[in-house]
Structure 1
């Protein structure tokens, strides 16, 4: 994943879901987008929003 938009780990919407026990995209993805997300081929994501550690932690509070 060379494109920064495909790096979900750096995205503001990438959150841990305790119900599922893993990280998920917090955006409402359609069926095709969900399949791309699961297979790790979700490049050039239209919802990507960079979030530094402070922004992500602040959102969780």
Structure 2
């Protein structure tokens, strides 16, 4: 996929394995559709917006 995972809400770091991974929880059918998808962008991408989170806390 050509999306920018670095800014995605679901992109996390695993300290045990020392690597980044995607936290989107897909069932078997969804995973197959995702892997076969010919789109150039990830359909599950969500921008991680820290400022929006802080606004809710105020």
Indicate the TM-score class for this superposition, using the shorter chain for normalisation: 0.5 to 0.7
Where do 4+ consecutive residues of structure 1 move more than 4 Å? 31-34
Q: Give the number of equivalent residue pairs.
A: 45
- Stretches of structure 1 that go unaligned for 5 or more consecutive residues are 35-41
For normalisation by structure 1, the TM-score amounts to 0.52
- Stretches of structure 2 that go unaligned for 5 or more consecutive residues are none
Larger C-alpha radius of gyration, 1 or 2? 2
For normalisation by structure 2, the TM-score amounts to 0.55
How well do the aligned residues superpose, as a CA RMSD in angstroms?
A: 3.0
